[in-house]
Structure 1
Amino acid sequence: IDVRVPPQSIDSFVQFLRLDDVKIEYIVRMHDIGTLIEQQNLLYNLSRPSLNVNDFAYDKYHSVDEIHAWIDQMASTYPTLATPFTVGKSYENRDMKALKISSSKVATKLDGSKAEIKKAVWWDGGLL
């Protein structure tokens, strides 16, 4: 079993493991996981491409801030087609932004006549 213990609790946790009625053997595999995570995040952010609308990596994980920046960028790049809006709050009380993609309310048919566009909903996403 892997157990992560905050630095301020290590001494008391080790004392608990060594109690006569507990006596659990243990091995410390990583002494400072926080520093390791910070180093990995730094390397990841340095190697990350820009969040340009045209080169946004859809197969990579992006933070909420990066996704919101992309949504805002899409809206500014395509103001007549894309409109950002908030669908609610996350369990962390952060805005959950979405992007409405729409064109004009009237479409031109193949025969040249005009017709009102029927409303439709298409929802796709990968929220974890």
Structure 2
Amino acid sequence: MAGKKQDVALSDLQIAVMRVLWERGEPSTADVAEVLAAERGLKHTTVATLLTRLEKRGVVAMRRDGRQLYYRALVSEPDVRRSMVADLLSSLFGGDARALVSHLVDESEIAPGDLDRLRKRLKAAAGEDGT
């Protein structure tokens, strides 16, 4: 999947599974289940089902070693974030990033210190573009 941008919208539970894969590289089903049992109280069978569905979608790859199954992510966290934010931006804000930022400011989701950091990032990005 390298080089190809994929539309990857994941549920909250799927993201939790993916975070374990991103952090651990290629854990077994049991390893993922252990982490998610502690974090979310999920049963091994639920985690196995989530991993199987993610594999069918092409988001993860599975490798068998004896009776043990190992999974690794085929999409990166930044790619998932980018895809899901683009979907949110398109569906709720008509593709208008300014409307999204305005909403976050209006709803106090962005604190004044966050705005200062955002201004600096925008200024730096504008400088990189030569504008």
Band the TM-score falls in, shorter-chain normalisation: under 0.3
Larger strand percent: 1
Give me the TM-score of the superposition, normalised by structure 1.
0.24
Give me the TM-score of the superposition, normalised by structure 2.
0.23
Largest Rg, 1 or 2 = 1
Larger helix percent: 2
